[in-house]
């Protein structure tokens, strides 16, 4: 049996290939290189799925199903410049109360989170289309789904509603995908759903263009452009987004892209930095977010790269994510254990995409071992409900992943389908 690629070898492959992100079958028949620690960089590899961002100012058809694995080839990046000092701005410290200029949050008792959580992702565009979203949620409720994970700020950098946050207005981040966010959330509550809000944090083209001094230099300012995880201005902006959504009625905040880019940058996540230098800003951001948001009565979670459950101890995959450390900070962690996103022979499986049960079981078994002593409720994985790589996913493949989790004692999960179509003829009860 072939052995897995080591982390060091994979990192070398990434550098040699200019760290290109792409689908598993790129134009011209080229194969995408393995990602950090052996995971194939398919789509937005640390964002659940790979929904293609809209071009600035372009509103995609909410009924159109994007390719879950396609991202543009960004080519070679210029040399990075110097980082902004994260201490330049006045930022509330951990536990500081929101100022007068921050969104008001109604003093209402928190709603009770379902146990277990059975969720599905919902894009802003889909949520803002009543003729699409309510029939979908009628099916979801009947199938045993009790939670929706709504894009508040997705990979395109846009907010899904007209925000009152001055910085969001200044940088052009508002996009009226959902006409009335509080009304949508209230209707979802009436229909029996727990409503989580997903916020893509570090990948933000609008903030990158408007505040390059807060960013990791070397990107082109397009849909794949990373902010500096150590910059506290970036922290505050994303927490302000969360607070405004909480004021609108959101029950839970889920942070995504809390990481460095796969594209290595000297001084940020290059070979001249250590795992501790990378994990500290990520962990500090999450501690800051917990201090600011938990007093408002919400649940806070974090989406993590799938292989963080099983890489060697101390390997942050050069993106700053340590599974155990993050699980100790937030209310739950959501590893993206999509079988299509694992390299051949991961866990000894010739094609992990063709073995959904085994891939998810092995990944989450490692997660449980890594978090010994922590409650099992800390784990709420994202699982795959889309087809790619020549393998069609339907009821059997989706339910195989659910069964793998149940066999480990993990009852909570979330489904990802970037098209928001989802597999029918299944029951999750």
CB atoms within 10 A of CB 116: 18
* Separation between Cα atoms, residue 137 and residue 145, nearest integer Å: 8
Q: What tokens appear for 136 in the block?
A: 């979908």
Taking only the tens of pLDDT, the chain with its 429 residues reads 333 333 333 333 233 322 222 232 222 333 333 333 344 433 333 333 333 333 333 333 333 333 333 322 222 322 323 333 333 444 444 433 334 444 445 445 578 999 999 999 999 999 999 999 999 999 999 999 999 999 999 999 999 999 999 999 999 999 999 999 999 999 999 999 999 999 999 999 999 999 999 999 999 999 999 999 999 999 999 999 999 999 999 999 999 999 999 999 999 999 999 999 999 999 999 999 999 999 999 999 999 999 999 999 999 999 999 999 999 999 999 999 999 999 999 999 999 999 999 999 999 999 999 999 999 999 999 999 999 999 999 999 999 999 999 999 999 999 999 999 999 999 999
Domains of the chain, CATH where assigned: 115-416 (3.20.20.80)
What does pTM read for this prediction?
A: 0.80
Determine what percent of the chain is predicted with pLDDT higher than 70: 75
CA geometry: angle at 185 spanning 377 and 326, to 5°? 30
For residue 301, the surrounding DSSP H or E stretch is: strand 299-305
Q: What are phi and psi of 211, to 5 degrees?
A: -130, 65
Radius of gyration of the chain (CA): 20
* Separation between Cα atoms, residue 244 and residue 104, nearest integer Å: 7
């Amino acid at each position: 049996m072939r052995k897995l690629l080591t982390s060091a070898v994979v990192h070398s492959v990434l550098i040699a290939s200019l760290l290109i992100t792409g689908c598993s079958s790129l134009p011209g028949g080229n194969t995408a290189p393995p990602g950090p620690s052996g995971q194939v960089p398919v789509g937005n590899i640390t964002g659940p799925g790979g929904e293609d961002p809209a071009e600035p100012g372009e509103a995609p058809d909410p009924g159109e199903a994007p390719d879950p694995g396609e991202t543009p080839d960004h080519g070679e990046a210029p040399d990075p410049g110097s980082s902004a000092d994260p201490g330049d701005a006045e930022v509330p410290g951990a536990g500081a109360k929101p100022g007068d200029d921050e969104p008001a949050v109604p003093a209402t008792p928190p709603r009770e989170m379902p146990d277990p959580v059975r969720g599905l992702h919902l894009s802003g565009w889909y949520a803002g289309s009543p003729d699409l979203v309510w029939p979908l949620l009628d099916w979801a409720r009947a199938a045993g789904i009790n939670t929706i994970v709504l894009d508040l700020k997705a990979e395109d950098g846009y907010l899904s509603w007209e925000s009152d946050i001055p910085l969001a207005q200044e940088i052009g981040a508002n996009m009226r995908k959902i006409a009335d966010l509080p009304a949508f959330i209230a209707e979802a509550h009436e229909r029996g759903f727990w409503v989580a809000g997903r916020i893509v944090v570090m990948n933000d083209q609008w903030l990158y263009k408007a505040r390059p001094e807060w960013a990791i230099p070397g990107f082109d300012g397009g849909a794949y452009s990373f902010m500096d995880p150590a910059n506290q201005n970036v922290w505050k902006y994303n927490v302000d987004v969360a607070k405004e959504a909480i004021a609108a009625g959101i029950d839970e905040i889920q942070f995504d892209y809390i990481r460095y880019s796969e594209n290595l940058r000297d001084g940020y996540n290059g070979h001249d930095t250590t795992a501790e230098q990378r994990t500290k800003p990520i962990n500090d951001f999450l501690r800051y977010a917990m201090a600011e948001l938990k007093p408002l009565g919400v649940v806070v979670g974090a989406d993590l790269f799938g292989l963080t459950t099983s890489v060697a101890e101390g390997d942050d995959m050069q993106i700053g994510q340590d599974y155990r450390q993050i699980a100790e900070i937030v209310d739950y962690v959501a590893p993206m254990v999509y079988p299509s996103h694992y390299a051949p022979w991961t866990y000894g499986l010739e094609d992990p995409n063709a073995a959904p049960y085994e891939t998810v079981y092995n990944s989450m078994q490692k997660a449980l071992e890594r978090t010994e002593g922590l409650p099992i409720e800390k784990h709420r994985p994202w699982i795959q409900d889309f087809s790619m790589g020549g393998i069609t996913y339907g009821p059997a493949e989706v339910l195989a992943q659910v069964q793998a989790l149940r066999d480990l004692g993990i009852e909570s999960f979330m489904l990802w389908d970037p098209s928001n179509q989802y597999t029918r003829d299944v029951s999750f009860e």
